[in-house]
Amino acid sequence: MAPSAPGSTASPTAPQPARRSRQAARAAGLIAAVALLGVVLVLSIGVGAKSLPLADVWAGLLDRDAAEYAVVHQMRLPRTLLGLLAGAALGMAGAVMQALTRNPLADPGLLGINAGASAAVATAALLGVTAIGGYVWFALAGAAAVTALVYAVGGGRGATPARLALAGAALNATLYSYVSAVMMLDTASLDRLRFWTVGSLASADAATVTRVAPFIVVGLLVALAAARPLNALALGDDAARALGARPALIRVAVIVAVTLLCGAATAACGPIVFVGLLVPHLVRALTGPDLRWLLPYCAVLAPVLLLGADVLGRVLGRPGELQVGMVTAVLGGPLFLWLVTRSRVAHP
């Protein structure tokens, strides 16, 4: 009999009541995560240079005559929606990359994909491109090129976590050096990119959200559609074929999803690190390795982390603000070191 994919409901060994209980617990946890996201969304709209009470937030959302309407609709709401989209994109991208490469430390930032998008955007700025509609195409091309390059240099189907990490680190250093050189040598590029390079939601507007939303939504749908086949691929190519999956097609689908998600998010917000690394690890403790649950949880909890970090940066940096990329780096660095230490202990 063919083996079943991780988390598959076809497993004959798990008793039905225990399986139902586990599924109910996961569903309840997902509902709680959605409720938490709702709270963070309200905080993101209400907290800023001037904090708005909940009643004023509600009035600003619905009443065109309210004094807060312009603040909410022109500044707070686009910023919140962009954080929602970018957080879901980075969280899902990290989860599918970790599943595809079988590397627990895979992340769009650590493997150089964000750096590829950043280098492409810096090139666009050097060429005089100023609109997000131009940036996003450059970013997608850069993310796609680096995704393919890291996977090829890392060994392709035989890639190991160590080789992928080394390839990503080398490309990261090279590409970010290029971005720094562009900014130093071209004053106009420096003016356009100085806040973007640290990762920021501050410049969000309705046009930015509208431009990147289609790419992120398509990427999220492709990633969700790949969840069950990726579960099968975790058993190896031969077992995946026995279960009806097509390994080559799965890998192409994941690369397309990661390119869309990372390219669009980086074009809009800049290179934000650690979200794609932290959230899948935290979620996996709740859901286990089954991507059919892991991915929806990441799509909900990654925006909680990103928007929460953005709110924290606005509070701590008053009367100015700390950019969200700085806050996620400060929060993510210690946890990354903890993950590396734990991995070293587990695999001496």
159-183 pLDDT, tens digit each: 666 677 788 888 888 888 888 888 8
281-297 pLDDT, tens digit each: 889 888 888 999 999 99
Quick one: pLDDT at residue 348?
37
* Residues written for the chain: 348
Q: Is 185 exposed, middle or buried (0-12, 13-18, 19+ CB in 10 A)?
A: exposed
Both tokens of 290, joined, read 């089954």
Quick one: pLDDT at residue 1?
44
209 assigned to some structural domain = yes
CB 41 within 8 A of CB 84: yes
Torsion of Cα atoms, 144 then 146 then 148 then 149, to 10°: 160
Quick one: pLDDT at residue 343?
57
CB 308 within 8 A of CB 42: no
Overall pTM surpassing 0.95 (yes/no): no
CB 217 within 8 A of CB 209: no
113 assigned to some structural domain = yes
Nearest to 82 by CA among 344, 236, 307, 277: 307
Quick one: pLDDT at residue 347?
41
CB 38 within 8 A of CB 276: no
Judged against a pLDDT cut of 50, whether residue 312 lies above it is answered with yes
Quick one: pLDDT at residue 292?
92
CB atoms within 10 A of CB 182: 18
38 assigned to some structural domain = no
Angle between helices 161-185 and 113-126 (to 10 degrees): 20
199-234 pLDDT, tens digit each: 888 888 888 899 999 999 999 999 999 999 998 888
Quick one: pLDDT at residue 12?
47
Of 340 and 137, more confident: 137
Of 185 and 231, more confident: 231
Per the structure, the count of domains in the chain is: 1
CA distance 192 to 134: 14
51 assigned to some structural domain = no
Q: How confident is the model at residue 93 (pLDDT cuts 50, 70, 90)?
A: very high
Mean pLDDT in the chain? 83
CB 103 within 8 A of CB 165: yes
Residue 214: C-alpha distances to residues 75, 95, 142, 145, 265 (Å): 21, 20, 18, 21, 11
CB 269 within 8 A of CB 199: yes
Quick one: pLDDT at residue 15?
66
Average pLDDT over residues 61-79: 82
Judged against a pLDDT cut of 70, whether residue 303 lies above it is answered with yes
Q: Who contacts 14 (Cβ-Cβ below 8 Å, separation ≥6)?
A: none
CB 98 within 8 A of CB 234: no
Of 195 and 47, more confident: 47
Instruction: Give me the domain span that covers residue 290.
Output: 87-346
Q: How confident is the model at residue 340 (pLDDT cuts 50, 70, 90)?
A: low
Torsion of Cα atoms, 226 then 232 then 31 then 339, to 10°: -100
Q: What is the DSSP letter of 110?
A: T
Q: How confident is the model at residue 30 (pLDDT cuts 50, 70, 90)?
A: very high
281 assigned to some structural domain = yes
Amino acid (1-letter code) at residue 199:
G
Judged against a pLDDT cut of 90, whether residue 88 lies above it is answered with yes
Domain containing 306 — which CATH number? 1.10.3470.10
Quick one: pLDDT at residue 125?
82
End-to-end CA distance of the chain: 36
148 assigned to some structural domain = yes
Residue 7: C-alpha distances to residues 3, 10, 232, 287, 300 (Å): 12, 9, 10, 9, 20
Quick one: pLDDT at residue 339?
67
321 assigned to some structural domain = yes
Judged against a pLDDT cut of 60, whether residue 14 lies above it is answered with no
